[in-house]
Amino acid sequence: MILVDLDRVSAARPGRPLFTDLSLTVATGDRLGIVGLNGWGKSTLLRIMAGTGEPESGTVRRGRDVRVGFLEQEPQLPPGRVRDAVPGGWQGEAALDRLGLGAVLDADVSALSGGQAKRVALAAVLSTETDFLILDEPTNHLDVEAIEWLEGHLASYRGGLVLVTHDRHVLDKVTTRMVEIDRGKSYVHEGGYASWLEARIEREEQAAGAEQKRKNLARTELAWLRRGAPARTTKAKSRVDSATALVNARPEQAARGGELDLARFGATRLGDVVAELHDVSYAWPDQPPLFEDVELLLDPRERLGIVGPNGSGKTTLLEVIAGRRPPTTGTARLGKTVQLAYHDQHAAELDLSMRVRDAVADGQPPGPEHASLLERFWFDRDAQFAPIGTLSGGERRRLQLLLVLARKPNVLLLDEPTNDLDLDTLRALEDFLEDWSGALVVVSHDRTFLDRTVDRRLVLGSPSRPGTPAPSTRERTEKPKANGGRSPSTLRRLLGQTEREVAKLDARRAQLVAQLETTDHEVLTRVGAELTTVEAELAQAEEQWLALGVEMEASQ
């Protein structure tokens, strides 16, 4: 059964189109993942499909009597109790429990956090009888157990599914087609996340090849024009017009101006003492402890992930490490050289009425340097002058990341940094953290992100219930692997560093070999000595690279 049919629909935001002439049909049994850069219309497309938004042009045809369940990126709940916001009786309550909300069934929805409200809205959508599910970032604020339950629920869903998510595991397990929105165009790829990556790389390679072919042909035609093209025949005039068009043509403008420039944010020197926690516990007034007996010593190159179910105290522990919240018992201190930056999971520090460029200027008159910084973070001129409240959820998160890194910290505390980020920004952040010289502590449920960025994990237990003790975290830090003690993320980082060192030494070796083409004996002696040293260092680096590769294979 056809659920929705889009025929040449278009949408825009002030200053640029989001997508144009997009045609797409979703039928029963389809599993579509929507991907694309933040701010390029993914949520707008979902609203058009759900019928809560209208395209600026084109036609939307809907199946007769199709029941649609739509989870918005920032949903609004009806007033009342949590249990009353979710239909389905015991099934709705079961969904709430699986999403970590069983303890707040009788709470008023106005008292919920943003993450809790999103989970209540998700439970409501999943508990309703529907033919067509449209989900915008459903994994935000879910712990790993809840994400795995959601994957199973969606896999067994018999209707049509359209999904926007940054979770690469979910995309690969749940979707059978991917729709990419890129610079106003749309591309459909059969298969999940991995097949989309392959198709995208192939498309970009074809575009690069076509542009090189155009340049070569343009050079040929330009040379012909400069030799003095005959202008009296119709054929010659046609060729002049063709040559002029070739020379004046430009490749399609990149969706973003180069790579996300995170490398400019270095870290100041960090001493031996980063953070120390001894016998730390935390409890809310008149409540049992969230966690107890926390022993933690962070080193200057720390890569620590804090994981556990929702409600187990991950954000609270991060705030204790940051010095924002004193522990109930025990001691917590930061080193004297620590320059700390804290990335809040709700972007609560952003003033939605402030213009983007003013937020970056931080009280100073905005100047060219602020515009340049924003451009390197993929904010075009229109976005720079826009109020923060008009940005997409992912654009706000990217702005928040910019403001955090602009402080040039040497200790980063990141609370759910992957929420709402598009996949390109997510990969750029992972690459940056892999080589960043400071200490990192991250709370995240994104399994791929954790695999790429942390070396060890502190596991917090289930939320405490009245009358039961909080789990101790003293022995719950994951132990190093027995096959050498280094995690895959550490090995990937070391492999990358070694590959760069090999490339650097190999380039230097080639330079020295070229300098040997001389009869100056003093130069030959000096260059020969340096060449011997470089070749020895190169051989050692190559051996290290091979050894790391073997260890990497063994760790997987």
CB contact set of 526 (below 8 Å; sequence gap of 6+): none
Judged by average pLDDT, the poorest of 61-65, 253-257, 448-452 is: 253-257
Distance CA 188, CA 202 (A): 13
- Tell me: pLDDT of 327 over 90: yes
Q: Which residue has the tokens 């910084």?
A: 373
Q: What is the pLDDT of residue 206?
A: 67
- Tell me: pLDDT of 211 over 60: yes
Place 465 in a pLDDT band, splitting at 50, 70 and 90.
very low
Q: What is the pLDDT of residue 431?
A: 82
CB contact set of 318 (below 8 Å; sequence gap of 6+): 306, 342, 413, 415, 441, 443
CB 33 within 8 A of CB 180: no
Most confident of the ranges 334-343, 372-381, 400-409, 519-528: 334-343
Q: What is the pLDDT of residue 437?
A: 83
Average pLDDT over residues 297-310: 88
The angle subtended at Cα 254 by Cα 252 and Cα 257, nearest 5°, is: 150
Distance CA 171, CA 178 (A): 9
- Tell me: pLDDT of 4 over 70: yes
- Tell me: pLDDT of 443 over 50: yes
Residue predicted with more confidence, 435 or 490: 435
Residue predicted with more confidence, 285 or 228: 285
Q: What is the pLDDT of residue 90?
A: 84
Helices of type H across 103-192 = 114-126, 144-156, 168-174
Q: pLDDT tens for residues 519-546?
A: 777 777 888 888 888 888 888 887 787 7
3-state helix, strand, coil in the chain (%, to 5): 40, 20, 35
Place 466 in a pLDDT band, splitting at 50, 70 and 90.
very low
CB 496 within 8 A of CB 434: yes
Distance CA 181, CA 6 (A): 14
Residue 460 structure tokens = 């917090």
Q: What is the pLDDT of residue 29?
A: 93
Neighbours of 278 (CB within 10 A): 15
Distance CA 203, CA 546 (A): 33
Residue 386 structure tokens = 């826009």
> Could you give the dihedral angle defined by the CA atoms of residues 346, 305, 438 and 539, in that order, rounded to the nearest 10 degrees?
-140
Distance CA 311, CA 463 (A): 5
- Tell me: pLDDT of 553 over 70: no
Mind spelling out the 3-state secondary structure of 224-273? HHHCCCCCCCHHHHHHHHHHHHHHHCCCCCCCCCCCCCCCCCCCCCCCCC
SS3 assignment, position 58: strand
179: left (phi over 0), alpha (psi -120 to 50) or beta: beta
Q: What is the pLDDT of residue 377?
A: 77
Q: pLDDT tens for residues 23-81?
A: 999 999 999 999 887 878 899 999 999 999 999 999 999 999 999 999 998 888 999 99
Indicate the burial class of 351 (C-beta count within 10 angstroms; 0-12, 13-18, 19 or more): exposed
Place 218 in a pLDDT band, splitting at 50, 70 and 90.
low
CB 310 within 8 A of CB 146: yes
Q: pLDDT tens for residues 492-507?
A: 667 777 877 887 888 8
Q: What is the pLDDT of residue 8?
A: 93
Place 265 in a pLDDT band, splitting at 50, 70 and 90.
low
Place 479 in a pLDDT band, splitting at 50, 70 and 90.
very low
CB 143 within 8 A of CB 461: no
Q: What is the pLDDT of residue 58?
A: 94
Q: What is the pLDDT of residue 279?
A: 93
Q: What is the pLDDT of residue 215?
A: 63
Q: 225: closest CA among 210, 208, 211, 245?
A: 245
CB 538 within 8 A of CB 488: no
Q: pLDDT tens for residues 100-138?
A: 888 888 899 888 877 888 999 999 999 999 999 999 999
Distance CA 296, CA 281 (A): 12
Model pTM score: 0.65
CB 143 within 8 A of CB 309: yes
Residue predicted with more confidence, 282 or 396: 282
Residues 397, 402, 403, 405, CA torsion sign: positive
Q: What is the pLDDT of residue 138?
A: 93
Most confident of the ranges 92-106, 253-267, 492-506: 92-106
- Read out DSSP for 313-380? SHHHHHHHHHTSS--SEEEEEE-TT--EEEE-TT-TT--TTSBHHHHHHTTSPP-HHHHHHHHHTT--
Residue 181 structure tokens = 């929105």
Residue 479 sits at φ, ψ, to 5 deg, of -80, 150
The whole-chain average pLDDT of the chain stands at 81
- Tell me: pLDDT of 470 over 50: no
